Structure 1
Amino acid sequence: MQLDIVALGEPLVEFNQATGGAEGVNYRLGHGGDTSNAIVAAARQGARSGYLTALGDDTFGDMFVDLWRREGVDTSEVICDGDAPTGLYFVTHGPSGHVFSYRRAGSAASRLKPSSLPADYIAGAGFLHVSGISQAISDSCCDTVLAAIEIARANGVKVSYDTNLRLKLWPLPRARAITHATVPLCDVIFPSLEDATVLTGLEDPEAIADFYLGLGVPLVVLKLGAQGALVARPGDRQRVAGLKVDTVDATGAGDTFDGAFLSMLVRGEDPLEAALYANAAAALSTCGYGAVAPIPTRDQVLAFLGQGKR
């Protein structure tokens, strides 16, 4: 099967804080997990997409299979693990933004191992998309991510990587070591400014871009949140301005950016055009609650850009 993008990682059932009720805080049930969010975003932009993961043999796992099939994401290589659960997380909202709490230890996806990988499936893709979170959840999953990258590179498949730092999952020295070792193996990386500042010890976006380019990756797309993005290649820097929207929940916005950006690259667009488009998609995704429900379709993004929001 020829796919534009194959993503690998851990999906998480989302419980997103809603308004309080008579019995206290209520939560909206939804879908999350960074690379799952990204592949759904890519599919909504029209990219031929597939996902690699393991799910528990439970109701939450069934929820994800139903979601991906509705979205047109291929699930033919998704593993069902009857001995482990599907992971979940809670999102609460406060003055400083959204806060995550996880219940993912021992999840089905954390038990992935290199021998789980379908090499031909990865070899047939245009891009393999992975993240730092998948490397952080277990040693075996970290090995699986690196093995998937090795398969991709051996078969001319491009690799994209979101550093996506979660210090609740692993200590900073290990996160730095693994992330910095992974970056040179990739064709494009999507660090956020917040994560990159912690990982590199640098604060200036240009300096961060220089640092990552110095590691050997040819394209750095530094996500600046509401301030837009910096697209950096050797000898070239281009900024994409932020967009004004009525933001209510930024959960998954960076993942939406990743998927939308990749969907444009596989269409043959250059990185700047891809960033302009992804910036709009990510902005729109903050206008509703949850990681997946507000992800816009391609028609919605084009309509938004057509209103002069670029």
Structure 2
Amino acid sequence: MSTDLFTFGESLSVFISSDTDSVMSATKFERVTAGAEVNVAVALSRLGLKAQYFSRFGNDQLGSVMMADIEAEGVDVSLAKRVDSFTGAMVRNPGKSAPVEISYLRKGSAASTIEPSDILDSYISSTRWLHATGITCAISESGAKTVKHALEKAAQLKIKSSFDLNIRRKLWSEDAARKVLEPLARDVELLIWGEDEYQVVFGQVDPRQILAEVNKRGCKIAVMTKGDQKMRFSIDGNYEEITPPKVVAVDPVGSGDAFTGGVIAGLLSGMSTTQALEQGSICGALVASMFGDWTGIPSGIAGVIDKEIIQKVRGN
């Protein structure tokens, strides 16, 4: 099967308190499926491209319902493995009147047992784009080895790839993250990190210097995000900036993944880098303006957002 995107990582069943804005006082919760890599896959599928996602799921009901959720979004999960471990989960509050607080239930989860041999060469050679994140590196040593293997194999096969740092400080320390992620930040088509994450890994504070260094490492497009603030990026050493569209943020969780998915889809559709980044910004803003990781992801054809949606966001 030929795909536009292949990605892998850990999906989580997210239990969100629904009767109060605090897990401490809540008695009712809603469950949704989410996860950095699968969020990107869903974004590409919504935009009319073929996305394939690999993970290890437990032989439990959570694993079954999550796979069904992902399939319902048009993402191919036929390569997924079921193993004798539990499927990971997250518990959080909605963040409507209080900051979002997250508790993870994922140490030793099914997905944390992912290993390089899971990612066959054929998975990568049959796709147009490989996407990986630092979260898979954080969940286990074998996960980090799998990311390294996949990115190196994509480079060997001349398949375009992207790497999103996505440091999760609840999963590991900044020092541990730096040691693992710094060597991986090279030789990809697209590198996307938040400003603070770049600073953690490279130990520098000047955006221009950091992005220039990343370009020198063989990363063609280096993007530095900062929520709804000015986005900085550098293409082969040429520094530019974009201001994302302004929206009333309802739930920022998942907006970064939507941004990444929109950018990748745009590049695959033939857009210029700037156009693709603008499309990603629209995707991220729409997700931030609605509750849930997938709720606001826009629809499109052949990797391009529907014109009506773009006009609505821009107020035209």
Kept after mapping to 2: 8 A contact 1:161/1:190: yes
| Equivalent position SS for 2:101 | strand
1:78-136 residue CA offsets vs partner (Å, 9 max, x unmatched): 1111x111101122327774232211011111001111222212111111100000011
Kept after mapping to 1: 8 A contact 2:182/2:202: no
1:103 corresponds to: 105
Find out whether 1:12 has 2:17 as its counterpart: no
Distance in 2, matches of 1:139 and 1:259, equals: 26
Counterpart residue type for residue 2 of structure 2: Q
Alignment equivalent of 1:64, drawn from 63, 66, 69: 66
Counterpart residue type for residue 13 of structure 2: V
2:175 corresponds to: 173
Give 1:41 shift: 0.9
Q: 1:19 to 1:194 in 2, by over 3 A?
A: farther
Distance in 2, matches of 1:131 and 1:98, equals: 22
Alignment equivalent of 2:185, drawn from 154, 163, 183: 183
Number of residue pairs matched?
308
Cα RMSD for the two superposed structures: 2.1
1:305 corresponds to: 310
1:91 corresponds to: 92
Kept after mapping to 1: 8 A contact 2:187/2:217: no
Q: 1:283 to 1:161 in 2, by over 3 A?
A: same
Q: Which runs of 5+ in 2 are unaligned?
A: none
Flag as ranges the 4+ runs of structure 1 deviating above 6 A: none
Distance in 1, matches of 2:162 and 2:185, equals: 9
Q: Which runs of 5+ in 1 are unaligned?
A: none
Alignment equivalent of 2:271, drawn from 246, 269, 272: 269
Distance in 2, matches of 1:86 and 1:257, equals: 26
Counterpart residue type for residue 174 of structure 2: L
Distance in 2, matches of 1:270 and 1:163, equals: 23
Give 1:301 shift: 5.7
| Equivalent position SS for 1:153 | helix
Q: 1:112 to 1:256 in 2, by over 3 A?
A: same
Superposition pairs for residues 43-192 of structure 1, below 5 Å?
43-81=45-83, 83-92=84-93, 93=95, 97-192=99-194
Distance in 1, matches of 2:218 and 2:157, equals: 19
Give 1:5 shift: 0.6
Distance in 1, matches of 2:273 and 2:192, equals: 12
Identity across aligned pairs (percent)? 28
When structure 1 is superposed on structure 2, of 299-308 and 236-245 the one drifting more is 299-308
Q: 1:203 to 1:298 in 2, by over 3 A?
A: farther
Give 1:308 shift: 6.5
1:280-300 residue CA offsets vs partner (Å, 9 max, x unmatched): 011000122221233222386
Normalised by the length of structure 1, the TM-score is 0.92
Q: 1:201 to 1:144 in 2, by over 3 A?
A: same
Superposition pairs for residues 226-305 of structure 1, below 5 Å?
226-298=228-300, 302-305=307-310
Distance in 2, matches of 1:236 and 1:302, equals: 29
Superposition pairs for residues 5-44 of structure 1, below 5 Å?
5-20=5-20, 24-25=25-26, 26-44=28-46
Give 1:248 shift: 0.8
Normalised by the length of structure 2, the TM-score is 0.91
Distance in 2, matches of 1:90 and 1:17, equals: 8
Q: 1:237 to 1:19 in 2, by over 3 A?
A: farther
Distance in 2, matches of 1:197 and 1:94, equals: 29
